[in-house]
Amino acid sequence: MLDIQNLIVGYGKAQVIDQLSFQVDPKTGLALLGRNGAGKSTTLKTVIGLLKPWSGDILLDGQSISELPSDEIARLGIGYVPEERRIFADLTVIENLVTGAKPGASGDIFWTQSRVFELFPEIARRRHADAGSLSGGERQMLAIARALVGNPRFLLLDEPSEGLAPVVVQKLGLVLSALRQENVGLLVAEQNQNLASHLVDHALILETGVNRHISTFNELRSHPEVVKKYLGM
């Protein structure tokens, strides 16, 4: 279980996240929804250790990780796919995967190059190509594959559909929705509500760093006034 407790986070003197609390069950997952600037990316960066909370705590199976560096958090079983993807453009697809490969926190190796190539045949066909030559969708697949070969228990995805064609988003949705069957918990920051609802069961709506609504997606659909108020354009 990933447990975020009363998190307050900011940049410099500017507070971005205000008393944010939620839990992520690996069996159901959670999507962070909200407009640009709501604090979704800041939340993920804090969970993975790129930002330190001003106050509050982050627990992984009851163990506090909020003061740990990001590399130690990753070794404990949290993977991260940033919004910018941040693949190594000058390295081949295989070399990118090598940079992320490690056993899981328990020492098990479930996700290998072969397994992620089965998951993403598009990048398997280009395994010897420089990552910089990949399309936007292929780069996103590579970024996710690189996180998976780190054998995470939880995977943080920051705007996985951003800038991608609808057909690519649909493909990603099919692949990512299957990860829960592989015991990978998903915490997704996403503006595409349709995609998010296919990946996870629960949604939390952020507005200026404040939790405005949390429920299952099924429950959220019965509250169109909430969707319009906090997510409508």
- pLDDT one-digit tens code per residue, 157-199: 999 999 898 999 998 998 898 888 888 999 999 989 999 999 9
Both tokens of residue 223? 């509250």
Residues forming a β-bridge with 214: 204
What pLDDT does 233 receive?
55
The CB density around residue 76, as the number of other CB atoms within 10 Å, is 17
Query: Average pLDDT of the chain?
Result: 94
What pLDDT does 7 receive?
98
Give every CB contact of residue 96 below 8 A, 6+ residues apart in sequence: 87, 88, 131, 142, 146
Q: Give percent of the chain above pLDDT 70.
A: 100
pTM, two decimals, is 0.94
Kindly state which CATH superfamily the domain 2-231 is placed in. P-loop containing nucleotide triphosphate hydrolases (3.40.50.300)
Buried b / exposed e along 87-98 (16+ C-beta atoms within 10 A): beeeebbbebbe
- For the chain, list residues with pLDDT below 70: 233
